[in-house]
A and B are shown apart, each in its own frame.
Chain A
């Protein structure tokens, strides 16, 4: 087995177990029967467990896996932030905001993003250890592009929530 095959398989496995953990946790804590909005993590979880790893597995679909994985993380971030605002701690002290909201869950979710990013970068740009990184930070496929999309999705979602009631 080559180092590339090993690293790729390990990263895909880490995405699968992370997504499985997230899916199972959501099904347990936020059952769909309680609130139909809880269907969002179920759909996102199934996509993350099955579709994302499949897309990441083939060179032709790698970029689609990268984009789907990233947008699922953005959706999770925005919806969990919405959940936190809806269940805002009564005494919003810094400690309560840090530990009493879904901030920790959002941090865990971003692991999936960074694993996907490393997988995409290695598969796209190669595994050479001395390769210099190039490209404009705010253009695809770099981190700034994702931050722009996180901000844009947050804005559009907020408009949908507050204006289109």
Chain B
């Protein structure tokens, strides 16, 4: 058992969700000059 196993959630699902979140963050954050 990995002592540092953080999430019981599947690694791939976690990373897919994280990628979607950061894609969305990049999409919504705007800094008009």
A127-165 interface code vs B (CB 8 A; 1 in, 0 out): 000000000000011000000000001001111111011
User: Which one, A14-22, A75-83, A110-118, is touching chain B?
Assistant: A75-83
Contact B29 A37 (CB under 8 A): yes
A106 sits at the interface (CB 8 A): no
Tell me the chain B residues, 1-33 only, with Cβ under 8 Å from chain A.
4, 6, 19, 22-33
Residue tally, chain A, CB below 8 Å to B:
24
Contact B26 A35 (CB under 8 A): no
Q: Give the dominant DSSP class at A's interface.
A: helix
Q: Which residues of A contact B23 (CB under 8 A)?
A: 156-157, 159-160, 164
Nearest Cβ distance between residue A101 and chain B, in whole angstroms?
13
Q: Given B22, B30, B31, B32, which contacts A153 in the complex, CB threshold below 8 Å?
A: B22
Q: Which residues of A contact B28 (CB under 8 A)?
A: 37
Contact A86 B31 (CB under 8 A): yes
Binding site for A on B (CB under 8 A): 4, 6, 19, 22-33
Q: Which residues of A contact B25 (CB under 8 A)?
A: 40, 75, 79, 157, 160
Q: Which residues of A contact B31 (CB under 8 A)?
A: 35, 37, 82-83, 86-87
Instruction: Name which of B4, B26, B27, B31 has the most chain A CB atoms within 10 A of its CB.
Output: B26
Q: Which residues of B contact A165 (CB under 8 A)?
A: 27
Contact B33 A157 (CB under 8 A): no
Q: Which residues of B contact A109 (CB under 8 A)?
A: none
A51-82 interface code vs B (CB 8 A; 1 in, 0 out): 00000000000011001000000010001001
| A156 and B18 alpha carbons, distance in the complex (Å) | 9
